[in-house]
Chains A and B, each alone.
Chain A
Amino acid sequence: MRRLRESAALAVLLAFAAPAFLLPPLLLGWITLRGAAAVDWDFLSRASADFGAEGGVYYQILGTGVLIAGAALAAGPLAWALAILRRVYLSRANIRRLDLALYVLNGVPSIVFGLFGYLCFVHALGLGVSWPTGSLILGLMILPTAAVAAAEGLDAVPRERIEAAEALGLLPWQVIRSVHGPAGLPALATGLALGLARAAGETAPIFFTAAVFSGVDFPRSWRDPVVALPTHIFTLAQEAADPAALANAWGAALVLVALIGSFSALSWLLRARARGAIHA
């Protein structure tokens, strides 16, 4: 009787769990199928035309690239500094305060980031609708992820190394420079790659603060907006009844998912290497 119940329970578990394993290949396969029909070298290397119904996504890819490069520069050093600060200088109480701030930041919905960025960066700081605004907002979004990753990297440094450095009479900042700093960097890179994977796909923080729909090729000044993959897909998705626009939307979606996938893969690779390096 108990065996029957066990088998029945197992069957139920399997039935419920099945979608979790079947949906990923199904959906990713669907995106690949619909997207591959539109993506070819032309698509990747030409500008869009006719409201996105024709042409490619070359400048959208570049625009997304500029936004996340800027986000990396905005978040990276700050995340690294925060991780080191946390490890070396802060008291328990202050560590909790910093952690709280980072957790709060991590929990802010993306549209609220967009609204904040609009108020603070576009208007209050006068940066206008531009790619630096977008990079700052995205950088803020990924700061917690990067900082937590870097902090974990620092926590993994074997105590002996720190003690050895201190025994040699090094000042805290010298210890940072020789031990903590280098140790934190690979973990930071991992965290950044993870954060950038997310940032690349975000629409709400940038669609009224950094991106326009057409007219930009490559931004040529600090005040220029960009065209980006997520906003491009968003606009095209609203033309759901037009097959040409839809086809291009799928193509852009495939490109975006591939981009995000490669960043995720990169972060996974970096994490594996970082783990190896610590024990080297």
Chain B
Amino acid sequence: MHRRLKSPGNRIFAVVVAVLSAAGPSAAAPETLRISGSTTLTPIAAKAAERFRKRHRGVRVFVSPTGSGAGIAAMASGTADIGMASREIDPDERKRFPKADFVVTPAARDAVVPVVSAAVYEAGVTALSLADLRRIYSGEAANWKAFGGPDAEILVIDKEASRGTRHVFMGAVFGDEKAKAPGARLVTGSNNEEQAAVSQSDAAIGMLSNAWMNERVRGLAIKTADGAVAPTLENVLSGRFPISRNLNFVTDGPPRGLAKRFIDFVLSPEGQSIVEELGYVAVAETGRDQSGKGR
């Protein structure tokens, strides 16, 4: 028998089988939590998962940044335990997954900010009204000149239709989450992609969470009847900024077991400090469980 093992082919085979058995079932299967969805929530989930794992040895938390729509779908179809959604559940989604009991737990808040390339901001375009945004995304206005900016074509960057950020933005600008944007010139998916696309251009406008703004991707103030409201943390906290939203964890039925422990951790003072570290806004003390039930 061991003569057979001498041949290199058999040795490789033995190693492969040994490696794969290690990847197979083990006596004490560790607890695992699968989280997937919004790229806005992903940094929160990932960082919280890191800290959570240190507290609870043997627990694994898998995070997949697939987008709000995909996260909700994954959760409802059983592929994920928690779905991350940077928007509310769509009635269409309730229809598509009739058996899922969607329970939404806000974990943080943020604002969806119209962002522009640094060059545009520095050229003087620092605030736009919702009507302006409508004109840009519907294609009526195609040049920054119309808004006091440089004579340059606007690179209107849209997002994939199922993304939470898009739902919230379109809801605020067009009054319809599923509104089409005929003026769009480019479509991106994750927040990372959108951020990269805006910073790679000198004339871009896009939609992004306030936590993702940086020196190359500048957030515009929104002109309202009471003047221009800048996307600062205070304005988001106070609710003055017109486009703000809950960042939600979605579960099938009220959170149970490991999912509940994790969500509770994110809602705890330590979890909420992670939220703020990352640039988002902590949820209000009282508004924890949207279903109104106690903990």
Q: Which of A214, A223, A238 contacts B63 (CB 8 A)?
A: A214
In contact, B60 and A185 (Cβ under 8 angstroms): no
Whether B192 is near chain A, meaning CB under 8 Å from some CB there, is yes
Residues of A175-223 whose CB lies within 8 A of B? 185, 189, 208, 212-223
On chain B, the residues within 8 Å of A222 by CB distance are 23-25
Assuming the A-B contacts A72-B16, A238-B189, A241-B196, are A219 and B9 also in contact, with contact meaning beta carbons closer than 8 angstroms in the complex?
no
Interface size on B, residues (CB 8 A): 40
Whether A42 is near chain B, meaning CB under 8 Å from some CB there, is no
On chain A, the residues within 8 Å of B22 by CB distance are 218, 220
Stretch at the interface among B26-34, B96-104, B144-152, B178-186: B26-34
CA distance in complex: A65, B15 (Å): 12
CA distance in complex: A215, B16 (Å): 24
- Shortest CB–CB separation between residue A132 and chain B, in angstroms? 9
Assuming the A-B contacts A185-B9, A239-B196, are A220 and B61 also in contact, with contact meaning beta carbons closer than 8 angstroms in the complex?
no
Q: Which of B79, B195, B199 contacts A129 (CB 8 A)?
A: B79
CA distance in complex: A51, B211 (Å): 15
| Interface membership of chain B positions 16-44, coded 1 if the CB is closer than 8 angstroms to chain A and 0 otherwise | 11011011111001101010100000110
- Shortest CB–CB separation between residue B273 and chain A, in angstroms? 17
Assuming the A-B contacts A212-B63, A240-B196, A240-B200, are A70 and B29 also in contact, with contact meaning beta carbons closer than 8 angstroms in the complex?
no
Most buried by A among B20, B24, B46, B50: B20
Residues of A216-244 whose CB lies within 8 A of B? 216-225, 235, 238-242
- Shortest CB–CB separation between residue B291 and chain A, in angstroms? 27
Whether A161 is near chain B, meaning CB under 8 Å from some CB there, is no
In contact, B29 and A221 (Cβ under 8 angstroms): yes
Whether A153 is near chain B, meaning CB under 8 Å from some CB there, is no
On chain B, the residues within 8 Å of A128 by CB distance are 78-79
Whether B193 is near chain A, meaning CB under 8 Å from some CB there, is yes
Residues of B47-66 whose CB lies within 8 A of A? 49-50, 60-66
- Shortest CB–CB separation between residue B96 and chain A, in angstroms? 15
Assuming the A-B contacts A69-B16, A239-B195, A241-B216, are A214 and B46 also in contact, with contact meaning beta carbons closer than 8 angstroms in the complex?
yes
Whether B77 is near chain A, meaning CB under 8 Å from some CB there, is yes
In contact, B49 and A215 (Cβ under 8 angstroms): yes
Of all chain A residues, which has the CB nearest B28?
Answer: A220
Whether B68 is near chain A, meaning CB under 8 Å from some CB there, is no
CA distance in complex: A66, B20 (Å): 7
> What is A's interface to B at a CB cutoff of 8 Å?
49, 51, 65-66, 69-70, 72-73, 122-123, 128-129, 131, 185, 189, 208, 212-225, 235, 238-242
The interface residues of chain A, by DSSP majority, are classed as loop
| Interface membership of chain B positions 202-219, coded 1 if the CB is closer than 8 angstroms to chain A and 0 otherwise | 000000000000001000
On chain B, the residues within 8 Å of A220 by CB distance are 22-23, 26, 29-30
On chain A, the residues within 8 Å of B272 by CB distance are none
Of all chain A residues, which has the CB nearest B33?
Answer: A215
CA distance in complex: A166, B46 (Å): 64
Most buried by B among A123, A214, A215, A220: A215
In contact, B64 and A212 (Cβ under 8 angstroms): yes
In contact, B9 and A235 (Cβ under 8 angstroms): no
Whether B244 is near chain A, meaning CB under 8 Å from some CB there, is no
Whether B105 is near chain A, meaning CB under 8 Å from some CB there, is no
3 residue pairs, one from A and one from B, having the closest CB atoms: A215-B62, A241-B196, A241-B199
- Shortest CB–CB separation between residue B60 and chain A, in angstroms? 6
In contact, B23 and A238 (Cβ under 8 angstroms): no
16 additional contacts, CB 8 Å, given A49-B50, A72-B16? A51-B46, A66-B20, A122-B79, A129-B79, A212-B34, A213-B64, A213-B65, A215-B62, A216-B60, A216-B62, A219-B23, A224-B32, A238-B192, A238-B196, A241-B199, A242-B196
In contact, B190 and A238 (Cβ under 8 angstroms): yes
- Shortest CB–CB separation between residue B35 and chain A, in angstroms? 8
Q: Which of A51, A215, A240 contacts B61 (CB 8 A)?
A: A215
On chain B, the residues within 8 Å of A213 by CB distance are 42, 63-65
Question: What are 29 sample pairs from A and B whose C-beta atoms fall under 8 A apart?
Answer: A51-B46, A69-B19, A70-B20, A73-B17, A73-B20, A189-B9, A208-B66, A208-B70, A212-B36, A212-B63, A213-B42, A213-B63, A213-B64, A215-B62, A216-B62, A219-B23, A220-B26, A221-B23, A221-B25, A222-B25, A223-B32, A225-B34, A235-B192, A238-B189, A238-B190, A238-B193, A239-B192, A241-B196, A242-B192
- Shortest CB–CB separation between residue B160 and chain A, in angstroms? 12
Q: Which of B17, B42, B62 contacts A225 (CB 8 A)?
A: B62
In contact, B19 and A66 (Cβ under 8 angstroms): yes
